[in-house]
Each structure stands twice: as C-alpha cells, then as structure tokens.
Structure 1
Amino acid sequence: MSWSGTTAQQIAKAVRRGDADAAIVVDHHLRHIEEHREAADALTSVRKIESLAEAAAVDEIDDRSALPAAGVPVAVCEQLPVTGHAPRLGSNATFLPIAESDHRAVQRIRGAGAVVVGFGRSSELGLWPATDDDGNVPGNPWRPDRGIGGPSGGAALAVATGAAPIGIGIDGPGSAGGVRTAAAACGVVAYSPEHVPADLNSDPEHWLNGHVGVLATTVDDAALAYAALTHRSPRSTGDPGRLRIAAANTTPLPARVDDEATKSLLQAVRCMTDLGHDTFRARPKFGPRLTAASSGAWSCAAYLRSLKCGPDGLQRRTRRLVALGEKTYLKGLFGPILGDGNRIRRHLEDWFDFGDYDLLVTPGMPGPPPAAQGWSTQTLRSNVTHLAGAAAFTAPFGLAGLPALVVPVGMRGDGVPATVQLVGPPGSTGRLFDVAAQLIAKLRPRRYAPGLTWD
C-alpha cells in the first residue's frame, strides 16, 4: 500500500492511532515526487532530509491524540517563510535572508503535526494567475497543454498530483484570486478564509501582502487544514439546512464566460435544488468602483512586495506593474480615489442582506485554464489581455475579504475540470464547507487525473 493518494484525514487518523508511522507516510510521498514528473514540476525545492527528520519526531511523541494533522505531508507555497530556507517569492530578483522562524500559518500547521515536504512554485511575487518562470512551464495534470493557474499554482499542482494531500498558499488582494484560481485550474478544493480589508489609513502594507488559503482534494481535508491554521478543532461537515442560494455567471471583472462554464454552473445549481435548497438567478452588487479598486490593489501590492527584491531581475511585466503601483501608492490614489476592499465588502454585505441570500455560487473560472506557455516573458499588456480574465470570478472576493471556496463538480467538455466557487457573507465558513461537501457527495468528481498511478 502507498500512502500517497490517501486523504489527510486517513493519514492523521492512522498516525494518531499508531497504525502508521509518519516517517513511512512522508517517505511514500517523497518517492512519489521522485517518480512522477508532474509532481516534481510542482515544487521548486523538496525537503527530503528535513521532512523525514520531522516525521520521525512526530513518531516519537507518545500521545499524538492532540495532533489533528499528525504525519500529514504539506506543500507550502514558496511565498511563505519556513525556518532554514530563504523565501524565493517566485522571483529571481529576491534576495531575502534565510528565515529564522516560520510564517504563522506554517508554524500552526506544523504544530498540528503536519510535515512540510516541499515548496510549491509560485508566480512572481504572487501577482499572476499563471505559474511559470525561467522556461519552467508546468502542465495541467488533466490536459498538459493547459496551465495550472496561479499564483500558488505549484501548491495546487502538488495536491492535484498526490505529492501532498494538503497545500497552503496565498490569497487575498493583489493575488489574482489566490489559491482559488489555482484550484479551479487543477480541479481541487481551495478555501480562502474571511479577513477584514484595510484602507489607506489603517494598514495597507500588511493587508496587501496577502493572506493564507488552503488546498486539498476533499472538503474534509480542506476543513482540517483550515482548523489547523486557526487553532480550532476540526469540524465535520453536516447538513446546513435549507438555504437561499444565489447563482451568477456574469463576471464582476472583464472576461468572457464560455458555454462550458455556464453549463457547469447550471449543473451545480440543479444539484443544489435537488438537495432541497432554494436557488435564484442574481447579480451581486460590488459598487461602481470594483475594477478600479481591484487594479489599484493589484498594482500597489506589486510595488510593496517588490521592496523585498533587488533592483534587477524582475520580469518585465512585473516591472511595469510595479511602476504603476509606485505612482498609485505614493500619490495616495488607492482608497480615496480608486476605491478599496472595505467599500466593495460593504456593497456585497448589503446585497446579501437585501436579498436574504445565504450563499452565492459562481463559476470557478470563466473558461478553461490559460494555456501552458511562458506568460512570465510576455508584456504586461499581453498578460492583462489574455491572462487576467482567469481570475475574474475569484479576485473580487479576495479583495472584499469574504469567505470563498472553490470546489470541483465534474469535467468540462474540453477535458479540464469543471469547478464552481461558493461565496458567503461574514461568518458563513461552516455553511460553505457543508454545501461544498454536499456537492461533491452528489456529483462525485474525480479526485485525481486518470493518468496518475500509485504503487
């Protein structure tokens, strides 16, 4: 039996009970990475010696009952600091010192007993909805001529190929829809936790650096990872009761929604209706300045994140975006002129309240994942014209800070996963997980691409 391809919940239960050794579990995943090019492409670095040592330390703990993620391998986006490693930030321009402490999210998931096996490839500074650099263009496991999304595309691909059952990456403003865009491309589950947006006068630097989201192949594994990140006991999914669910296939940001995306959305809506929920066609209200606020946050995030890099080495698309962001930020245009996440959030909260909606469902992506090609070598104009639309459904809710979850619902006619995004008002995390679990139980999408094998 190989532990690679097993769910995080199954692994943690076996390690806690002493039915499996964490070191063996991690070794199986490391071997899987070595033997499968798709899994290796996902990671810029593999922590072979360190992860085996950390797994052995988990095995030495006499009472592992308090470790909800005992022995679970995790892929961490290279944007997040891990002790003993210098964060690369997806860029050759990064010259950061070796981290002396873990990012808080990494610290918490390791504290829950998980083991970091490697670093997921990221788009530069976590800005772009496709993941490639220096000629490395990872292919989608479902259809190789398509990409893996971004910015945390490597962590999503690691999960989608069995390199780790859980991944953590960045989400929030200026992150092109974060883990949810990558999950929509790779056909896995991703959750972006709720956060309160900042404005120009509160703490824009912290807010625009992004927040952490989780990736998994099952809803229960995503809930386990989220519980570990928030120091909560894992919550089992259950019956959410009868809900009022709005459905929208009109993109909040400029993009064309293809027929397959609409078809997948309608399939999910019909499933929700069969499950006893009331569904309505609706159009969420973001206010008049969503596009300006989104582009302003994106460019300002690029400028602030670039301050961690050297003057040379940034991709030309990033240099151009940084130049725009520097003017926007230093002239005080973000917030009072362009709008900010707080205003977008208030409009959405009012919309949820006025319609008495419990959840909103949208497509995960407006079309198939972007082509697997060297987007990092192209101009900013080309990236905006041909690539940015991939995050048209996911990015606005990262800007507003509302809880959002992407879940696979089957396959598109063109051979890539079909996904939908569930978004809720503040405080609706449990409801999102419950409905996502219902959808997967009813529609039974594949966890892995057909070509993947385990010994």
Structure 2
Amino acid sequence: MRELSFSSVVQQAAWVASGEVSARELVDHSLDAIESLNPRLNAVAEVMAADAMARADTLDSQRHDSSAKMPLRGVPIVIKEENDIAGIPTRYGSAAYSTPARADSEVVRRLRAAGAVVVGTTRMPEFGIWPFTESEAYGMTRNPWNLERSPAGSSGGTAAAVASGMVAAGIGGDGGGSIRLPASWCGLFGLKAQRGRMSLAPNADLWRSLGVIGPITRTVADSALIHDVIAGTTAVDRFRAAPLAASMYAAATSETVTPLRIMVSTKNPSGGPAADSDTTEALMRTAALLATLGHEIIEADPAYPKLNLPFQLQLSGGIGDEAARADEPHRLESRTRNMLRIGRPLRRLGGWAERTAARLGEPFLDDLFGRVDLLLTLTTPTAALPIGQLHDAGALTAVRRATPVSSYTSVWNVLGNPAAAVPAGFGADGMPLSVQVIGPPNGELSVLALGAQLERSQPWADSLPPAG
C-alpha cells in the first residue's frame, strides 16, 4: 500500500471521484499509518478516528450526488492545533487549554465543505513560538528523514505527518516561517500566502499582522488546490488581500512559464549568520537550473530594511493574545511565562510596529519588485538541526537558538509577501535542502508557477524518508 501512503492530494481526490478508491479506504489507510508511525514521530496530537470514519462513510454514500462540488472529497488531512475544531480543545501546543471549541474555524469549515476528512490534529511548540516542535507537556516531534533531527516548527507536527506518508497534506500556520521552515527541513513544499489571503476566523488575526494559515504538501499542485479551497476572508478578518487573476491550481499545473527576472541572494535579511556550504550550493544549483530554463538570473543583495524590532513586538503581542485564552495559565511552560513577562510592557507598541513595517517596507518592495519579478534566497541557513534544542532551555537560551533558524523567513511575515519553501536536493548528511521563492505583493501565481517548473525539472515527491 506504499502507493496510497505517498500519493498526492490530486491523485486521491481523483480516485475517490472515479470510484477507484473509496474515501473510507483512504481514511482507514491514513489512520493505520498514524497508528504505525506516530509512536516514533510524535507528529499527531489527537487522532479523530471515529469522526473521520463516519465522515468518510457519509461521503462514500453521497458520491453520486453531483449537487455539491467537493474538490477534496475523501482526502484525509491533519490540522495544526492552533485551529478550532468543534468538540476538541484548541491547545496551541500547550497543556493550559481544556475547553472544547464550539465550532470549526473558517479554514476547517471550508476544508470539510470541500470534502476533506480531518483525521487528527498535529503537534506544535507552545503558541508556535519556537522553530522546534518540542514542548514540556508533549515531548519532541521527530523528523522522518532522521529521527534524531528536528522537523523544525512551529508546524513541525504537520510536516512530519506529511513527509512520513500519514497524510498527503496538512494545515500549518506561518508567523515567522512556521510553514516554510518545516517544509524546508522535511523535504516538502510550503507556501506562505499573501497576508489576508486566507481567513483567520474566528480570530481577527494571527500574531497581529504576521501570521497566515496554509497547507504543507509534497507537491506544488496539492498546495495550490488546497489554497484555492480555503482562500477568501470574512467580516471577522482584519486583513484582506486583493483577489488573484486566476486560480492557484491553474498556475501550478500550467507548463507555460514566461521568462522572469530573478534576483538570487545569499544575504541574511535579519543580519544573522551566513548559510552553510551545502545550503548555499543548493541555492546556486537552483539558480543555474533556472538560467537553463530561460530565466534572467541577477546575483545581487537587496537592501533589506531593519525589521527585527517590529517583528519581535508583534510576536510578543501575538503570544499575549493566545495566552489570554488559556483555561489554566499556571500550566504554561516556564519559558513562555518569562516571554510573557518580558513582553508585557511592549504589547502596546504593536500598532507602532505595524506602521513602522509599512513605512520601511513599502518603498523597499516598490524598488525591489520594480527591478525583478521574483527573489530567490535560502529558506534556512542549515539543514535540520538535532532534536532537543529546547531541552532545559530557558527563554533567553531558546531565543538565541531559535533566531538563526527563522532569519531568512521572518522578514516576509513582517512585509506580508507570498514566499514558498521549495525542495532543492539533499545535503552530504542525507537531509533535505530548500530554497525560498519570494514574490511581489499578491504574487502567489508567479511563485507557484516557478515552484512547479522547478518540480518538473528536478522532481522531489518520489524521494521518500526512511520513517515512512
């Protein structure tokens, strides 16, 4: 059944639509994979077996009803546990929450309406603060490519579940790189869409202006299909992106890519450490490949604005927003309580941080994307680090270890641009490498089209990890 384990969302939906495979078969296989693999990986937090099987049976019984358009009919999916799912607590990776959600979040509602079957929730570090999926309450999540390495974070549980073949796709969230970092370390594709592209309801925002919700998948087309399903905002949402000219799935599956001007840079936007040789070589190999595909490659470094302080202020405010919902605040991790204490005087500066980011960011973006169509950088400065990064680490030590990991990604959360982690081969240690493709505001279609072109030129979805 390995074909089912590592089949794509697009394949699974087509099988169910044709009757070749039932929704129940897909769900049963996914639940079996979770039962087999999760004891080693600790990727899934809560298995929703009974609910998933009942939903699959209902979908199978209604398969011939053409009145409902369900592009994800029968496809098993996992959800990062910062998203409300009716009837279970929204835990944010913490032991401080016990009250079940009264209704699905808007993204979960849209996935279910499209026929997706939620089979479980996934692990994350408390509030998604860290780029390592580890917590005092729930232990460490492991990378399927090497069980002694981290899957990154904060959507590390989702990435480990997808990379290992438990599911073909899962929902993550990205407030500083938390979709792109786990995609990078687990050999997957992860797009952080434009700010305001997806609804964050019932919440008005996620980590103030920083956060978005979206899928982590093995293929670009799978990501695009799910993005099309969940795109759109509600009256609750504070941010709303301009509508795209076409569907993301169409962009990801078209084989016509107009030659683009692509800037390639190794510069660390946050002023952090330079990347290691394996990661840098992966970036330059990708640039050389894009040149052979007809794109104009411009090696240069953008004059990044200084956005570290606006990022930290909004991060602090976002942590405070989520902590305020805790049922039992005394059960928060000690390093989280310290982060809350340190950040408390700064939360009133959130508005200033957003205004400052806009003031510095708008001219930078106008200049950069007035000269080039896309920017190609590193996603992470290294391949996956060893697990245990947060073991016995207080708040300041954890910050010191975490900051370099997200140093290439967090700037795009502050600015709001679409940015994707794209697999770029493997390092000398056998771990996945990644590059980051960044587009102009509302530039998801170009990012997806280029990601799909790279995927056709150097396919990655058939490279499977040992723990799968």
Shared topology, TM-score over 0.5?
yes
CA RMSD of aligned residues (A): 2.2
Q: What's the CA shift for 1:105?
A: 0.8
Secondary structure of the 1:261 match is helix
Q: What's the CA shift for 1:146?
A: 1.4
Q: What's the CA shift for 1:344?
A: 4.8
Task: Report the residue type matching 1:110 in the other structure.
Answer: R
Task: Report the residue type matching 1:29 in the other structure.
Answer: S
Q: What's the CA shift for 1:58?
A: 1.2
Aligned counterpart, 1:261? 279
Alignment of 1:53-452 (within 5 A): 53-61=54-62, 62-63=64-65, 66-95=69-98, 97-134=99-136, 136-171=139-174, 175-195=175-195, 207-208=208-209, 210-230=211-231, 234-235=249-250, 236-253=253-270, 254-287=272-305, 289-309=306-326, 310-330=328-348, 333-336=349-352, 340-355=356-371, 357-373=372-388, 375=390, 377-452=392-467
Task: Report the residue type matching 1:129 in the other structure.
Answer: P
Retained in 1: the 8 A contact 2:84–2:104?
A: yes
Task: Report the residue type matching 2:310 in the other structure.
Answer: A
Retained in 1: the 8 A contact 2:168–2:218?
A: yes
Task: Report the residue type matching 1:156 in the other structure.
Answer: A
Retained in 1: the 8 A contact 2:373–2:439?
A: yes
Greater shift in the superposed pair: 229-238 or 64-73? 229-238
Secondary structure of the 1:212 match is strand
Closer, same or farther: CA 216–205 of 1 in aligned 2, 3 Å: closer
Aligned counterpart, 1:200? none
Task: Report the residue type matching 2:132 in the other structure.
Answer: A
| Cα separation, 2, equivalents of 1:209 and 1:365 | 18
Q: What's the CA shift for 1:183?
A: 0.9
Secondary structure of the 1:89 match is coil
Greater shift in the superposed pair: 289-298 or 160-169? 289-298
Q: What's the CA shift for 1:337?
A: 6.5
**TM-score of the pair, normalised by structure 1:** 0.91
Greater shift in the superposed pair: 313-322 or 158-167? 313-322
Secondary structure of the 1:74 match is strand
| Cα separation, 2, equivalents of 1:209 and 1:363 | 20
Retained in 2: the 8 A contact 1:39–1:157?
A: no
Q: What's the CA shift for 1:384?
A: 1.8
Q: What's the CA shift for 1:19?
A: 1.8
Greater shift in the superposed pair: 248-257 or 67-76? 248-257
Structure 1, unpaired ranges of 5+ = 198-202
Closer, same or farther: CA 372–225 of 1 in aligned 2, 3 Å: same
Q: What's the CA shift for 1:452?
A: 4.2
Q: What's the CA shift for 1:205?
A: 7.2
Secondary structure of the 1:52 match is helix
Secondary structure of the 1:56 match is helix
Closer, same or farther: CA 92–344 of 1 in aligned 2, 3 Å: farther
| Cα separation, 2, equivalents of 1:284 and 1:322 | 34
Structure 2, unpaired ranges of 5+ = 198-203, 233-246
Task: Report the residue type matching 2:318 in the other structure.
Answer: A
Number of corresponding residues: 440
| Cα separation, 2, equivalents of 1:264 and 1:339 | 36
Retained in 2: the 8 A contact 1:33–1:40?
A: no
Closer, same or farther: CA 74–204 of 1 in aligned 2, 3 Å: closer
| Cα separation, 2, equivalents of 1:391 and 1:234 | 28
Q: What's the CA shift for 1:209?
A: 7.7
